[in-house]
Amino acid sequence: MTEVLFIKTSSLGDVVHHMPALTDARKARSDATFTWLVEEAFAPLVQLHPAVDKVIPVASRRWRKSLYSPTTMTEIATSFHAIRAHRYDDVVDSQGLLRTALIARIARGRRHGYDSSSVRESLATYFYQNRYRVDRGLHAVERNRVLTGLALGYEPPGQPDYGLDRARFANSGSHYAMFLHGTARPEKQWPQTHWIKLGQALGGEVVLPWGSEPERTRSERIAAEVRDARVPRHVPLDQVAQMVAGARYVVGVDTGLLHLAAAFGVPLVAIFTGSNPKLTAPIGRGPVHVIGDDGIMPSVDDVVDAVKKIMR
């Protein structure tokens, strides 16, 4: 039996973008066992994919806050032991960063990654035994699919399939919309006043999830001005996924949960203000309307019209 280790640690959007590559790999290598190494916060989501046999969580984000503490050093040693405990036939690093290439080097198995013209950080290529040219102009989903196919010896088939069944996770009878305003990059944000006006214009129940304290505060400020808006409690990512899957529609900026909504096929409107939609626009089976662009901020009326289009 073939043993494969995939390394895609973060961020949430990148993790979601790698899911179709797992679906392809399962179809092409039905006898293989797939392990995914990922940031601990995203492990509950990765475990939802039916092609994933095992998950190895790492906590590099948390470790950076207290790198030299005894507890952190012990956790790092334990994680390295887990990575080296098994010999893999293939180790595929689709992240393309120096830190993930170093993790690949720690693992035991043939190491695959992007070549110097395709990778995000060129030093990473020194740690791969097999390097592949993948067009950097491709959408992130397709880059993951192409790299994985080259590494494992097949051509990715058809349209992307994230391996997530919306009907399995969604609660029947849900009538809420979901506004995804949270993003770590300020240039990707849409103004708080716009979200308030959008909620007032569209009406109906709105859910405002959050992932950090500033996002929680923002959600509460929006909810205070929008009738029937609510701010849910903070829950693990697999439970957030259920909320996303159950939404009637989603409006969001370029953030990980928006790509998760696309993976489930939820109707959505994607608001782009500070990133290139050609490279990271949400791709899914449901209606998707992308509005705005890098440096171009759509108006509230533009977004209202877009919502009406996807819900027809």
All structural domains of the chain with their residue ranges: 3-152, 166-310
Alpha carbon of 273 to those of 48, 141, 157, 188, 298: distances in Å? 31, 20, 32, 5, 8
Burial class (CB in 10 A: 0-12, 13-18, 19+), 33: middle
CATH topology of domain 166-310: Rossmann fold (3.40.50)
Pick the CATH number of 3-152 from 3.40.50.150, 3.10.105.10, 3.40.50.2000, 2.60.40.1930: 3.40.50.2000
Q: 43-57, 135-149, 158-172, 232-246: which range is least confident on average?
A: 158-172
Span 194-219, pLDDT tens digits:
999 999 999 999 999 999 999 999 99
Span 245-262, pLDDT tens digits:
999 999 999 999 999 999
Alpha carbon of 249 to those of 45, 222, 259, 279, 289: distances in Å? 20, 18, 13, 23, 11
Question: Quick one: how many helices (H) and strands (E) in the chain?
Answer: 13, 12
Judge if 3-152 and 166-310 fold alike in CATH terms. Answer: yes
Burial class (CB in 10 A: 0-12, 13-18, 19+), 112: buried
- How far is it, in rounded angstroms, from Cα 104 to Cα 111? 7
Alpha carbon of 222 to those of 23, 39, 57, 211, 309: distances in Å? 38, 30, 34, 15, 24
